[in-house]
Structure 1
Amino acid sequence: MNVLVLNPGARQLDFALYSGSESLPSRSGRIDDYRGAAMCRAALEKVAEQCLKGIPKEPGAWAWAVRIPFGGELFARPALLTVETVRSLETLVPLSPLHLPAIIELLAALNDGYAAQPAILAFETAFFAGLPAREAGYALNAELTDAGALRRFGYHGLFHEAACAHARRLQKSRRAAGTPRILSVCLDPQPEVAAVIRDRPVMITSGATPLEGLPGQTTCGELDPGIIIALSQKMKWGPERINAMLTRESGLLGLAGERTTLGELLASEHYEGALGRKVMNYRLLLACGAGIAAMGGLSHIVFSGRYAGLGETIGPQLISRIMRNRPEPSGEIQQHCFRSSLGRVVADNAMTALMALPERETAG
């Protein structure tokens, strides 16, 4: 089957066509601005024109797959695009106001103009919808937390889910015994660590937004909330200025004093990035320690994301530090690099979901 993957951001729309199990897309591109109903229709027409020439139109020949960054507690698994699905997403706009409004317009245009082919929605937060209450909750006013408005999620759930499945397959192929206890390290511009027992996440570094947790290329990571109050009171900064500082001027950019990618920083030995490397490696080690404690052990470390290949360097260092501090090592820790792209992961997620749907649903 051919899967046409859409990855909508707050402004840009990336697209790629995947055929069968091919790791690379046969066609791909980007639309710089798709916002607004008319722009959504025009964007989908351009995507179809570039990607669907020569693709059979009969049912089952191809499908859409759309990556959605936030699905809250409503979407704990992939969903088929329907009018009802869009209505459910609309109720989540207050929890994700920067991304969901434009995406909802795109989905409405997709449902109106291309209803003959199924469209699967793949949610980054779905893998973490069932986090244990002790991990998902904040020590805040119960009225806020009980309503589900403020709780932790993971924001690279598609990578984590696929990478952990990869680790389990490798364990099964070796006929290794025991319950997999997996540290899943997503090395993306906003990195994230998850602790997963078999296929159930029990710890995540991100919070109610991706800002919490590890520092990113331009995002601050874990921060004392008092700093935000101080910026408001002492610097007289408003919400927009504070948001710009936390999301676009902090993280590795703030530590290194210049723009750098996570891959460049961790792979380099330059003096200018020394502090950034120390902070990143230290925070990564702390996160791994928290994950091991949450799982009660460790059997695998798996790396995914844009810079998954760095796991070949970082993995042995982490394992060395972890083993050094284990009073009674209880077995070898397996290390893996899951190198699939996000588009390929979304396509696989959609194909799995399509196979699980009744035939009458996929036929529209």
Structure 2
Amino acid sequence: MSDSILVVNAGSSSIKFKLFRIVGADLVPLLSGGMNGIGAAPAFTVKDGSGAVLETRRFAAGEIPDGLAAQHHLADWFTRHRAGESIVAVGHRVVHGGPDFSAPVLVDDAVLRTLETFIPLAPLHQLGNLDPIRVLRLRRPDLPQIACFDTAFHRGHPELSDRFALPRSLYDEGLRRYGFHGLSYEYVAGRLRDLSPETADGRVVVAHLGSGASLCALKEGRSEETTMGFTALDGLPMGTRCGALDPGAVLHLIEQKGMTPSEVGHMLYHESGLLGLSGLSSDVRTLLASDRAEAGMAVAFFCRRVAQAAAALAVTLGGLDAFVFTAGIGENAPEIRRRIIADLGLTGLILSNDANRSGVARLDAAGSRAQIWVIPTDEERMIARHTLRLLGQTAAGSSA
């Protein structure tokens, strides 16, 4: 039985996995799947390496009440199907590495304790990211587990990009712009280098547009600045998150409206963004299909904010050589791409409407001042690569 690496990407209401067979320095997908709707209407799906469905099952809400129950179900499934026998390491997406971790790390007791201190910095994600690590440490304490951080790719930022206009003492304590979606940006930067090395060495803005959304300015493949900051609440409006907000509005909600901090937090994370703007849905597909004025306004708001942020990042880079769309909306919503590029007309970007509708990777038309790309992201493969590399280093260290 060939060795394999399991990748776990757990969130607040879902858990995804991919199993890769190690073939020399390559990684071949074997299985993928996960559980969505945890605590509401859970659905579990497993697919083979080609994407064919092997198993699907729906649960009553009470059967899988939380993420911990979902993780135990997934572990039980691997045990029953003997799919875990070949696993030599597990890589985990962990949203926040804080000021301590700038690269993937082998998890031990001390690392886990440190990561737990970052839960307040990413309350929607961090706890869910860490729970599978705890479950596996109980079941397979011998199995190496690697934490891969969404913040790590941005850790090389200059201080100018990391700072808030707050007292320096707070920056020294760790109150700074960390940035997120780093695993996605790292993968896309690598794919762009495969597709167009000269472009990858230039000035590139990548738009990771999904239920969570952000932009990243890349220079020579490295992150220079990004729209998310101290938490994953900042920057662009998202599915249910507000994005950039006047801090005075938060003070108003607490001091004048009498809302508690937890009530404000719940609203900003769960009731804002596209859902709050439209009063209809957090899903761009639903909004595009609706004839309600509120839905149209929400889409227009989203596209304009993306364009404004992209123009600002072009200032950071001193120009723009390419604009890249990725993630669920970026990869699959031609109308959103069209509107964003139209709002970026000042930058000289020109979209080929035929290419935009056809599903090809390169979308810019003749005369465009910069290239336009769609590059599907693969955070799980990026995590598997980091896990394989760190596993090799650990093995080499043990044999030395």
Matched to 2:300, the amino acid is: K
Residue 50 of structure 1: how far off its partner (Å): 1.7
Residue 234 of structure 1: how far off its partner (Å): 2.0
Structure 1 partner of 2:151:
125
Say which SS state the counterpart of residue 307 (structure 1) adopts. helix
Cα distance in structure 2, aligned partners of 1:190 and 1:209: 12
- What whole-Å deviation, never above 9, does each CA across 1:145-203 have from its counterpart, x for those lacking one? 1211x11122211111111111122112xxx4783211111011121011011232112
| Residues 84-99 of structure 1 aligned to structure 2 (within 5 Å) | 84-96=110-122, 99=125
Question: Which of 391, 397, 400 in structure 2 is aligned with 1:354?
Answer: 391
Residue 269 of structure 1: how far off its partner (Å): 6.9
Conservation of the 8 A alpha-carbon contact between 1:16 and 1:25? yes
Conservation of the 8 A alpha-carbon contact between 1:125 and 1:156? yes
More deviation, 39-48/227-236: 39-48
Residue 349 of structure 1: how far off its partner (Å): 3.8
Alignment TM-score, normalising by the size of structure 2: 0.76
Residue 46 of structure 1: how far off its partner (Å): 3.6
Structure 1 partner of 2:10:
8
- Structure 2: runs of 5+ lacking an equivalent: 40-65, 350-365
Conservation of the 8 A alpha-carbon contact between 2:227 and 2:235? yes
Cα distance in structure 1, aligned partners of 2:298 and 2:131: 39
Cα distance in structure 2, aligned partners of 1:249 and 1:103: 22
Alignment TM-score, normalising by the size of structure 1: 0.82
Structure 2 partner of 1:283:
305
Say which SS state the counterpart of residue 25 (structure 1) adopts. strand
| Residues 49-128 of structure 1 aligned to structure 2 (within 5 Å) | 49-51=76-78, 53-55=81-83, 57=85, 62-96=88-122, 99-101=125-127, 103-104=129-130, 106-128=132-154
Cα distance in structure 2, aligned partners of 1:281 and 1:16: 32
- Alignment pair present for 1:47 and 2:74: yes
- Alignment pair present for 1:154 and 2:179: yes
Conservation of the 8 A alpha-carbon contact between 2:240 and 2:272? yes
Cα distance in structure 2, aligned partners of 1:226 and 1:31: 35
User: Which structure exhibits the higher relative contact order, with contacts defined as CA atoms closer than 8 Å and separated by 6 or more residues?
Assistant: 1
Cα distance in structure 2, aligned partners of 1:50 and 1:218: 32
- Alignment pair present for 1:337 and 2:374: yes
Structure 1 partner of 2:45:
none
Cα distance in structure 1, aligned partners of 2:28 and 2:5: 11
Say which SS state the counterpart of residue 219 (structure 1) adopts. coil
| Residues 182-193 of structure 1 aligned to structure 2 (within 5 Å) | 182-193=204-215
Residue 353 of structure 1: how far off its partner (Å): 3.8
Structure 2 partner of 1:223:
245
Conservation of the 8 A alpha-carbon contact between 1:319 and 1:333? no
Structure 1 partner of 2:31:
25
Say which SS state the counterpart of residue 31 (structure 2) adopts. coil
Conservation of the 8 A alpha-carbon contact between 2:154 and 2:225? no
More deviation, 312-321/66-75: 312-321
Residue 350 of structure 1: how far off its partner (Å): 2.7
Name the CA shift for 1:25/1:247 in 2 (closer, same or farther; >3 Å). same
Conservation of the 8 A alpha-carbon contact between 2:304 and 2:343? no
Identity of aligned pairs, percent?
A: 28
Structure 1 partner of 2:265:
243
Matched to 2:75, the amino acid is: A
Matched to 2:317, the amino acid is: M
Cα distance in structure 2, aligned partners of 1:48 and 1:188: 28
Structure 2 partner of 1:36:
none
Cα distance in structure 2, aligned partners of 1:313 and 1:24: 34
Name the CA shift for 1:324/1:138 in 2 (closer, same or farther; >3 Å). closer
Cα distance in structure 1, aligned partners of 2:132 and 2:255: 39
Cα distance in structure 1, aligned partners of 2:70 and 2:225: 38
Structure 2 partner of 1:297:
319
Question: Which of 123, 132, 135 in structure 1 is aligned with 2:161?
Answer: 135
Structure 2 partner of 1:202:
224
Conservation of the 8 A alpha-carbon contact between 2:204 and 2:323? yes
